[in-house]
Amino acid sequence: MHDDNASAVSAHRLGVFSDAVIAVIMTVMVLELKAPELAAFSALWPLWHTVVSYAVSYLFIAIIWINHHYLIGLVGTPTLRLIWMNFAHLFMVSFLPFATAWIARTQLASAPMVFYAALFVCVDIAYNVFEREVLLRADQTLVSAPARRMTRLRSIAVLAVFAIATLVAFVAPRLAFGLICGALLLHLRPEILDSRPGRGRRDPDS
């Protein structure tokens, strides 16, 4: 019983730290939003690229948090390897405010969009490595085999779309931005939430 409690605290601590870092990243990103100087609704129109890029990055971070939340629920005692993987993932995510501000200020120009899409690739690679480590160590009774396969296939598919978007951004940055938006839709609901044996479609916290 003592070991179980220690494991829960360790996993909880890892989750709390990650939550705090993600919260800071979101705060830094929102600080980049600058209100127009003119007191007219027409002044908002030139800022459409800022609003859209912020919304997409916000959605990406929200997806990261949701999927990270369910993965942390599968962690027993975090190994040093897993902790460093988590740090690497958070490090990549921390660049999102910078990349978002760059594409917003340049109105989705090619070079900034290449950097933005490439960052999504890096974040997704770091997440996939973290996800694979967690699922390898997770109890087989907590996540079904089909759910594991679907999770891996979806992760690979999303990573492939991000990689394609990076290349497309060199010639069609706005199309690349659209590809990124489409790929994010695949990650809105964690696969492990739907397929845990004996839990149906219930939330693991319920």
pLDDT grade for 192, boundaries at 50, 70 and 90: low
The domain locations on the chain are 2-33+48-194
Rounded Cα distance between 51 and 200, Å, is 37
Rounded Cα distance between 193 and 153, Å, is 16
User: pLDDT, tens digit, for every residue of 19-38?
Assistant: 999 999 999 988 877 777 77
Give the mean pLDDT of the chain. Answer: 83
Q: Is the pLDDT of residue 162 over 80?
A: yes
Dihedral over Cα of 25, 28, 30, 33: its sign: negative
Q: Is the pLDDT of residue 88 over 60?
A: yes
Rounded Cα distance between 36 and 166, Å, is 31
pLDDT grade for 137, boundaries at 50, 70 and 90: confident
Q: Is the pLDDT of residue 77 over 60?
A: yes
Average of per-residue pLDDT across 122-127:
94
Rounded Cα distance between 141 and 146, Å, is 12
Nearest alpha carbon to residue 154 among 123, 116, 188, 180: 188
Structure pTM?
0.82
**8 Å CB contact between 166 and 176:** yes
